[in-house]
Structure formats: C-alpha cells, structure tokens
C-alpha cells in the first residue's frame, strides 16, 4: 500500500478530530525528545538512544502532519512561510 493511501485510510478510520489530538500528542513527545537530546553533551559522549528517540518522534509528527494535510491542505501555507523565510535569510545575509 502506498504512503498516501495509508494517510487517507487512517484519517478516514480515526477522523480529523482524533488525529488532531494525536498530532498534538506527538508534537509534545517531539518537544520532550528535543529537550532531552539538547540537554545531553553529544560531543563528549554520543547517545544513540536519544538520537533514535528524536528521529522516531520526528517521523511520528511528520506522519500525523501528512494525514492532517489531507483535510486542511496546509501546503499552500507552507509555501508562504518558505517565501517569508527566504526573505528573512536574504536580509540577514546583507
């Protein structure tokens, strides 16, 4: 089964409201993983468990975002934000 089909099936099965709550939960877990990762000094001693946890949480958030995009089509807003970032970078590089 293709990735896009999985997103659509999950959204259809669980519904937008539940998946938005799940996205919030996954974002919270990502925040915790980022804090734990940043609190560790990886230059002194790399910690694969913290790195793996961070990557797993990033994947969870991305999967949930793709599901939600099927209902809200946030990609056009992403383009606006990317253009804004580009202008900000152009200003800061001058």
Determine what percent of the chain is predicted with pLDDT higher than 70: 100
Q: With a cut of 80, say whether residue 94 has pLDDT above it.
A: no
Cα R_g (the chain), whole angstroms: 17
Give Cα 42 to chain centroid, integer Å: 22
Q: For the chain, how many structural domains are there in total?
A: 1
Query: Which tokens hold the place of 64?
Result: 């949930």
The pLDDT tens digits for 16-57 are 999 999 999 999 999 999 999 999 998 888 899 999 999 999
Q: How confident is the model at residue 5 (pLDDT cuts 50, 70, 90)?
A: very high
Provide the pLDDT for residue 93.
85
Q: Quote the pTM value.
A: 0.85
- Domain hosting residue 15, numbered range: 3-92
Which pLDDT does position 72 carry in this prediction? 85
User: Where do the DSSP E strands lie in the chain?
Assistant: none
């Amino acid at each position: 089964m293709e990735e896009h089909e999985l997103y659509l099936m999950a959204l259809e099965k669980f519904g937008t409201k539940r998946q938005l709550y799940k996205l919030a939960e996954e974002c919270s877990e990502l925040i915790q993983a980022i804090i734990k990762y940043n609190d560790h000094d990886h230059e002194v001693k790399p910690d694969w468990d913290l790195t793996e946890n961070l990557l797993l949480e990033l994947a969870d958030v991305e999967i949930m975002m793709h599901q939600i995009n099927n209902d809200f089509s946030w990609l056009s807003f992403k383009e606006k934000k990317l253009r804004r970032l580009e202008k900000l970078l152009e200003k800061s590089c001058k």
